[in-house]
Amino acid sequence: MATQADEAQRDALAERLFGAALGAYELFTVHLGDRLGYYRALTERGDLTTTELAEATGTNERYAREWLEQQAVAGILEVDDVEAAADERRYRLPAAHAEVLVDRDSLAHLTPMARYGVSFAQTLPAIEDAFRTGGGVAWEDFGSLGREAQGDVNRPLFTHLLGSEWLPAIADVHERLQADPPARVADVACGAGWSSIAIARAYPKVSVDGFDLDEESVELARRNVAASGLADRVNVHLRDAGDPELAGAYQLVTVFEALHDMSRPVEVLRALRGLAAEDGAVVIMDERVADTFTAPGDEIERVMYTYSVLCCLPVGLADTPSAGTGTVMRLDTLRRYATEAGFADVEVLPIEHEVFRFYRLR
Ligand SMILES: C[S@@+](CC[C@H](N)C(=O)[O-])C[C@H]1O[C@@H](n2cnc3c(N)ncnc32)[C@H](O)[C@@H]1O
């Protein structure tokens, strides 16, 4: 028979899942506002009626009205007069909310997470199959939404922190990147290229080679580099970082949030040793997960495990053989990979960030 404690536990989970479901549904409506240009129109034009928003974005008025009402009810938009007729009400996006929803450069920008959510939802049937077969789901299958979500989710961090806090915290690397002869940087698994761009921007002497094996990411990165005006110092190459032929003599080799996605991380780490010059530094940024398994976990562990189940583990298992790492790559796992790849030491760098941890491999 259910005790009072059982009932309380049942109700707590039911309530929590209701909140989660509501959050997920609202996230999808945020995605619509992002993709349809609704938030942008409200930011650029100020408060709008349903007809004005529909006209400004080339969308259907009836749908625009439903979305505006839903967003106001959800507390994302403000409405001037709730009692006015539906077609006369004016809706406004508060500036603070616009920063989260529209400002791609803000550290508070969160719409890329909505984009990731939609990409995961689209890929779920394939993931369900992978659970049954043990197969994987390739990164390409997460489509342009996944690729753009990944690029945009890290872009503000690279833009604001990489060249002004994170690399300056590694004193000898920071010094070498400013010195002559100009340093060369290999940015492995560069995705949309924002880290390569940020490094080149922060250190005007260096040249950066970005490498990624996903063709569309490479094209996206090349477009981003061209638009940033840094094409003379940043080149993006379509290459598998595990390729033993990769050779370089780079003063800095980086891997940002990608090692745990790789099917064969040891091969890639071995290749990084071949890329680094004798005095070159190898720096890895990966998720700041706890050093041991704990349950229940905090929000970082929870979000990392969701990424792992919904994306990173299936991506890692898409190739065979695979180490099957998943997002939750703990320190002892990285140490094991590094040792197998011939590194003598993994140093945890004293760089504080809520989500990421930095390592220097020697
Ligand atoms: C999660 S994304 C990170 C991208 C980027 N560094 C960032 O922080 O946004 C992982 C990237 O690793 C790339 N990747 C995975 N395995 C790779 C390999 N063996 N060689 C090169 N790139 C690889 C994928 O194509 C993808 O672009």
Split the chain (362 residues) into runs of 10 and give each run's mean pLDDT.
94 98 98 98 98 98 98 98 96 98 97 97 98 97 96 98 98 98 98 98 98 97 98 97 86 98 97 94 98 97 98 98 98 98 97 97 97
User: pTM for this one?
Assistant: 0.96
At 335, which amino acid appears?
A: R
In contact, 198 and 171? CB cutoff 8 Å:
no
**139 close to ligand 1 (CB < 6 Angstrom):** yes
| Spatial distance between the Cα atoms of 307 and 119, rounded to a whole number of angstroms | 12
3-state helix, strand, coil in the chain (%, to 5): 55, 15, 35
Token digits for 340? 């197998």
**What does the pLDDT read at residue 245?**
83
Q: Which atom of ligand 1 is nearest to the CA of 312?
A: 1
Query: 139 CA distance to ligand 1 centroid (A)?
Result: 9
Report which protein residue has its CA nearest ligand 1's atom 10. 258
Q: 189 C-alpha to center of ligand 1: Å?
A: 4
Residue 244, pLDDT score: 81
The angle at the Cα of 297, spanning 121 to 23, to the nearest 5 degrees, equals 35
Residue with tokens 């071949």: 274
Q: What does the CA dihedral 74, 79, 85, 86 come to, rounded to 10 degrees?
A: -40
CA of 258 to the centre of ligand 1 (A): 5
Q: Which two tokens stand for residue 298?
A: 């905090």
The pairing of beta strand 356-361 with beta strand 346-348: antiparallel
Pocket of ligand 1 contains residue 189 by CB under 6 Å: yes
Q: Which residues is 46 bridged to in the sheet? A: none
Q: Which helix or strand (DSSP H or E) is residue 250 part of?
A: strand 250-256
Q: Measured between alpha carbons, how far is 142 from 164 in angstroms, rounded to an integer?
A: 32
Between CA 94 and CA 76 the distance in angstroms is 8
Q: Are 360 and 334 in contact (CB under 8 A)?
A: no
* pLDDT reported for residue 301: 98
CA of 23 to the centre of ligand 1 (A): 29
Nearest to 154 by CA among 224, 229, 96, 252: 224
Task: Return d(Cα 260, Cα 269) in angstroms, integer.
Answer: 11
Q: What are phi and psi of 132, to 5 degrees?
A: -75, -40
Distance 299 CA to ligand 1 centre (A): 24
Nearest CA to ligand 1 atom 1: 258
Q: Please give the backbone phi and psi of residue 225, each rounded to the nearest 5 degrees, phi first.
A: -65, -45
Per-residue pLDDT, 179: 98
Residue ID of nearest Cα to ligand 1 atom 15: 262
User: Parallel, antiparallel, or unpaired for β 91-92 and 78-79?
Assistant: antiparallel
E strand or H helix at 326: none
* pLDDT of 243: 85
> If you measure from the C-alpha of residue 25 to the centroid of ligand 1, how many angstroms do you get, rounded to a whole number?
29
CA atoms within 13 A on the CB side of 187: 28
Which of 246, 261, 311 to probe ligand 1 with, by most ligand atoms within 8 A of CB? 261
Q: Which atom of ligand 1 is nearest to the CA of 240?
A: 20
